[in-house]
Amino acid sequence: MRGTQIKLRKREREWLQGELKGSEFCHQERIRAQVLLMSDKGFSRTDIVRALNTSTSTVSRTRRRYVESGGQDTVYESTGNRGAERALSLEDEQVIASVACTAPPEGHARWTTRLVFEEARKKGVPKVSLETIRCCLRDHRIRPWREKNVGHSGSQRRIHQEDVRRSSAAQTPI
């Protein structure tokens, strides 16, 4: 889009200037807003790149999106193509978490990732890898292979550790 001249409407220009004065924008949104304002003032792509310390592709993409969709959509760019699609639905994650928080199968002292994987498959979780199971458990802070009481929060863990320190200090002879 070489030579594309951006002409902001008065209302868009005022909105961008007002938002830039506040702290509502994250870094990328601020850059996009400044690209639009500088483009409106007639700055060239290379001048904008130098002034904002950004790339030519950012300037070109921001200008193109403005022409295609308008001001706010350009600034709050939601491309929707970041990262892979979620492997598990919320319901599947709940099944996995509930499996890991129950008693392990007979003959096992604790849950392993493979045991959770096999049990989740029996309960209807679609084809999923061991790594996805591990990440799900990690995200929910469930570590059944490390500790027996898996259903506690971080604050309870700290309290428990403090109790252990106090009790060991009380038992230590002076």
- CA dist., res. 118 & res. 105, Å (int): 11
Percentage above 90 pLDDT, the chain? 5
Q: What is the pLDDT of residue 169?
A: 55
User: Domains, the chain, ranges and CATH?
Assistant: 10-75 (1.10.10), 90-168 (no CATH)
Could you read off the pLDDT of 136-165 as tens digits, one per residue?
888 888 877 765 544 444 444 444 455 545
CB atoms inside a 10 Å sphere around CB 169: 8
pLDDT tens per residue, range 67-95: 887 767 777 766 555 566 777 888 898 89
CA–CA gap between residue 14 and residue 142 (Å, rounded): 49
CA–CA separation, 31 vs 20, rounded Å?
Answer: 10
The pLDDT > 70 percentage for the chain reads 74
Instruction: List, in order, residues 6 or more apart from 165 with CB less than 8 Å away.
Output: none
- Helices 27-40 & 10-21 angle (0-180, nearest 10): 140
